[in-house]
A and B are shown apart, each in its own frame.
Chain A
Amino acid sequence: MKPIVLLKRVIFAAALIPAGTLVVDAFRGKLTANPIDFITDTTGVWAIRLLITTLSITPLRRLTGWNPIIQLRRMLGLFAFFYATLHFLTWSVLDWFFDVRSMGEDVVKRPFITLGMATFLMLLSLAVTSTKASVRKLGKKWTQLHRLIYAASITALTHFWLVGKVTVTEVMYWAVVLTALLGFRVWWVVRHA
């Protein structure tokens, strides 16, 4: 088996662990006193971790010259979308139980929810155009469209930052990582201009 195939399988399995843990913990009654908040937090945090991790693939490829690593990019991005979808469904079904009016008000009135919704819609548009057919069909436009991940990662992290009453350590950690990953791209473009 090629190293990349093995790596892909390992990462695929690993990316399912947080969701699996939630299911197991649900049966064990280990979702804290406020399970809905806990599921919301867990799925949201994993969406952000995976989204920013997706952004590390291109720099890693450029720095190492190991081209097969690019095969991880779509999978990681789709896992980020998977957790973002769980996060969105937790909010809309478990938390608000399809109370569209309250949710709509929240999207309009609360900046962090506005950003969360914007992020989700961006990720949705990336996920539906992630197929090989879309890549072929959209051509150059595909590359342009998929630059939305830069905006989505920033809105996602801002959403995470605004939801907390205090700035949590993890927000700062990912802000540093995201700055480095986006900074790398700027540096790369400038160097090759």
Chain B
Amino acid sequence: MLIRKAPDLRFSDITPKPLYLRRREFLQTAGGAALGAAAAAMAPPFAASANAQAKTAAHGAKLADVKKSPLSTTGEMLTSFDDITSYNNFYEYGYEKDDPKQNAWHLKPRPWTITVEGYAARKGTFGFDEFIKPFPLEERVYRMRCVEAWSMVIPWVGIPLKDVIASFQPTPQAKYVEFVTAFNPAQMPAQTTRILPWPYVEGLRMDEAMNPLAILAVGLYEETLPNQDGAPIRLVTPWKYGFKGGKSIVKIRLVDYQPKNTWQVMAPAEYGFYANVNPNVNHPRWRQDSERRIGEFFRRKTLMFNGYADQVASMYTGMDLKKNY
């Protein structure tokens, strides 16, 4: 038997470093086509995603001075950081659940500005740090129920929306709050397509925005918000379906009309303005009376207002929730 001594060569001697670092780039372009016409023809999206690299968003910076909130949901097991950051609906980065994790690294969440407009005394454009500085960072553990009938439990870090809105000193004409999110195709690749009308818009009635449960989240698991979860700042309204939580907010407008939220514009028969979690109002595609908690096998019953009825039901007294879905 002949046993050769390993040659004194290192990989860097064979392929120059800049070149091998571009290997993935090469695979994505030339390789995608060359990997076999048959395979590509059979499964174009699969072939494309097989080449895509899993760019894991690193953990964000630790947030200091986060205080626990009595408004946190107790007695629930938290969904893992990995699941919260790898299974997202964030169409700005693509419509597959893992697209945001793959593509969100393009986003530069700083510097960031938030513009306040409309019926308020204190308006203008604020830098992110200046915007959140006056408010205490609170940890709020909330259930998150997606309209697609899955759910998570997320330890958000955020600032109370009611304090933020109050600081704008809204005038009496302000009846609704409209949240406009980022439009930046260079950093949000799927915005070059027309899968949704951009930018993504959400809205709340003024009393909903002033409800103590509503927050603007800037982090989760005591770290700054990962890009795929809506960095640097997003809306969280735990008694509503997840799509109400507009991500990467750039503009907050105090208005006198009911804002046209994006999914309502897309499919008004399926998504309404209120989008309260309601097991009694079925969606044409998904049953809403049960849900699968991420990490669990059996479905569990969906609770009215996602279990937050005590804090929010009074806002909807007398309203026909079958019509105002």
Contacts from A to B (Cβ < 8 Å): 32-34, 36-37, 49, 53, 94-97, 102, 105-106, 109-112, 162-170, 173
Contacts and interface: CB of A to CB of B under 8 A. Distances in A.
B91 A33 contact: no
B133 to A, nearest CB: 34
9 smallest beta-carbon distances between A and B, as pairs: A33-B87, A33-B83, A166-B195, A33-B294, A170-B45, A166-B95, A34-B150, A49-B42, A169-B45
B43 to A, nearest CB: 6
B85 to A, nearest CB: 9
Contacts of A94: 297
B86 A33 contact: yes
B86 A173 contact: no
Nearest to B282: A109
B38 to A, nearest CB: 8
A37 to B, nearest CB: 7
B287 interface: yes
A32 B287 contact: no
A163 B149 CA distance: 13
A163 B285 CA distance: 7
Given A49-B43, A163-B285, A170-B44, A32 B98 contact: yes
- Secondary structure class of chain B's binding surface, majority of residues: loop
B304 interface: no
Q: What is the interface residue range for chain B against chain A? A: 20 to 34
Interface string B253-287: 00000000001001100000000000000101101
A109 to B, nearest CB: 7
B196 interface: yes
A36 B292 contact: yes
Nearest to A37: B150
Contacts of B95: 164-166, 168
B97 interface: yes
B287 A53 contact: no
B298 interface: yes
Contacts of A53: 42
Given A33-B97, A49-B43, A165-B266, 16 more contacts: A33-B79, A33-B82, A33-B86, A33-B294, A34-B87, A34-B294, A36-B292, A37-B292, A53-B42, A94-B297, A110-B284, A112-B285, A165-B95, A166-B196, A167-B195, A170-B45
